[in-house]
Amino acid sequence: DAKTTQPTSMDCAEGRAANLPCNHSTISGNEYVYWYRQIHSQGPQYIIHGLKNNETNEMASLIITEDRKSSTLILPHATLRDTAVYYCIVRVGTGNQFYFGTGTSLTVIP
């Protein structure tokens, strides 16, 4: 069901930028891209979302390609607490039904 493709796992050195890619080649014009993360056994946590323009908030930046077929989540200065599974989600429909997929397991290394 998931409409996104992400690498299974990634490592990042503490203090460096973490760049998490996501492919969503079948995205339609009115579908938003969302990023959530799940730290250990906690509930998923919203990070950021966007439609076609790049977005930035206090947690991260979201870069969406011009054709919208892929995006990259950027954590500018990764810390050990950013170790989590990161989910790239294309929202389906209007009822907030998210397909989480398998996500990318990010490990921040000291």
Partner 1 sequence: EAGVTQFPSHSVIEKGQTVTLRCDPISGHDNLYWYRRVMGKEIKFLLHFVKESKQDESGMPNNRFLAERTGGTYSTLKVQPAELEDSGVYFCASSQVGGFLTGELFFGEGSRLTVL
109: tokens are 């290394």
**Pairing between strand 33-38 and 18-23?**
unpaired
CA 70 – CA 57 distance, rounded (Å): 19
CB of 24 to partner 1, least distance (A): 16
7 makes contact with partner 1 (CB under 8 A) = no
Binding status of residue 16 toward partner 1 by CB under 8 A: no
Helix H or strand E encompassing 70: strand 70-75
Shortest distance (Å) from residue 46 CB to partner 1: 4
CB of 11 to partner 1, least distance (A): 22
Distance CA 109, CA 21 (A): 19
Residue (19 or 38) nearer to partner 1, CB: 38
CA 93 – CA 73 distance, rounded (Å)? 23
Residue of the chain from 94, 104, 105, 108 that contacts partner 1 (CB under 8 A): 94
Does residue 8 bind partner 1 (CB under 8 A)?
Answer: no
What residues make contact with partner 1 under the rule CB under 8 A? 2, 30, 34, 38, 41-46, 49, 87, 91, 93-102
